[in-house]
């Protein structure tokens, strides 16, 4: 069963006390992020009957722009007023300062996550002030390659495993994941699958990373696959989909940012 790494969460928001929240979300096999780490991480909040609940992750790539997964957005009417942004936060719903959106741009070729193109740009109504705790993540050049020997991490408030939620205080989680080449990843997704070997599952606009027990899960969609290249963090991918949160020794699948960096720059610049 292949599934989106997106979960419909319980009603949550500023008006709900933290001690009344029964369910939440976390990275599989991860540990607590430290204060100041991953300063580009955001929480995408969706309006549900007046409550602003976490639905996906995302990354700050420009003082005015957020990068996330398209499937995080298309489940609604794509109205900017349906969403808010919380910048880097250690514990979800703690001292929220939500920011409104001005515009949503979904990649024009997006139909579903299995075809790739799972990306969206969100423009903030006002640019944010960067500081020690709020920073952008750099986009790679189109020719940049990411290899298994690189240090790569994924972060978020997603499940600890399929169907198991993060307990209070909902601290941001991180997990180091190895990048996997597309052919190996495609082979692993064909194992015990009804899809013919001749039909690719992992496409050129995707990148794989992770291993059994260390992967993103529901609630982490839209977050950044961040890799350190010559001392700088670059965004290699966008959390898109996977199978049972990395079960069966299959890695998570991400939208490959290098395939779309020109399209992104056309909009944010």
List the catalytic residues: 71, 118, 221
Q: To which H or E segment does residue 42 belong? A: strand 41-48
Q: How many other C-beta atoms can be found within 10 angstroms of the C-beta atom of residue 239?
A: 36
What is the C-alpha separation between 195 and 188, in angstroms, rounded?
Answer: 12
Q: Which residues have C-beta within 8 Å of that of residue 98, sequence separation ≥ 6?
A: 45, 52, 84, 85, 86
| Pair 188, 261: CB distance under 8 Å | no
| Pair 48, 63: CB distance under 8 Å | no
Tokens representing 10? Answer: 């319980």
Q: To which H or E segment does residue 13 belong? A: none
Helix, strand, or coil here: 108? Answer: coil
Q: What angle do CA 179, 225, 143 make, to 5 degrees?
A: 70
SS3 breakdown of the chain: % helix, strand, coil, rounded to 5?
15, 35, 55
């Amino acid at each position: 069963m292949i599934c989106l790494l997106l979960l419909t969460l319980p009603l949550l928001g500023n008006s709900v006390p933290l001690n009344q929240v029964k369910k939440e979300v976390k990275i599989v096999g991860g540990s607590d992020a430290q204060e100041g780490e991953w300063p580009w991480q955001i929480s995408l909040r969706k309006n549900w009957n007046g409550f602003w609940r976490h639905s996906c992750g995302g990354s700050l790539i420009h003082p005015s722009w957020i990068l996330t997964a398209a499937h995080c957005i298309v489940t609604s009417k794509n109205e900017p007023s349906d969403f808010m942004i919380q910048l880097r936060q250690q514990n979800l719903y703690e001292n929220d300062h939500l920011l409104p959106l001005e515009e949503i741009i979904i990649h024009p070729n997006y139909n579903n996550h299995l075809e790739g193109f799972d990306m969206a740009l969100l423009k903030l109504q006002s640019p944010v002030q960067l500081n020690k705790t709020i920073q952008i993540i750099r986009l790679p050049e189109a020719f940049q390659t990411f290899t298994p020997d690189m240090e790569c991490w994924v972060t978020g408030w997603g499940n600890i495993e399929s169907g198991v939620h993060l307990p209070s205080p909902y601290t941001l989680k991180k997990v180091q994941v190895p990048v996997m080449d597309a052919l190996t990843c495609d082979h692993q997704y064909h194992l015990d699958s009804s899809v013919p070997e001749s039909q690719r599952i992992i496409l050129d606009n995707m990148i794989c990373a992770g291993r059994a027990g260390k992967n993103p899960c529901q609630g982490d969609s839209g977050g950044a696959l961040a890799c350190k290249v010559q001392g700088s963090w670059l965004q290699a991918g966008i959390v898109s989909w996977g199978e049972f949160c990395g079960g069966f020794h299959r890695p998570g699948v991400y939208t490959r940012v290098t395939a779309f960096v020109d399209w992104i720059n056309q909009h944010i610049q």
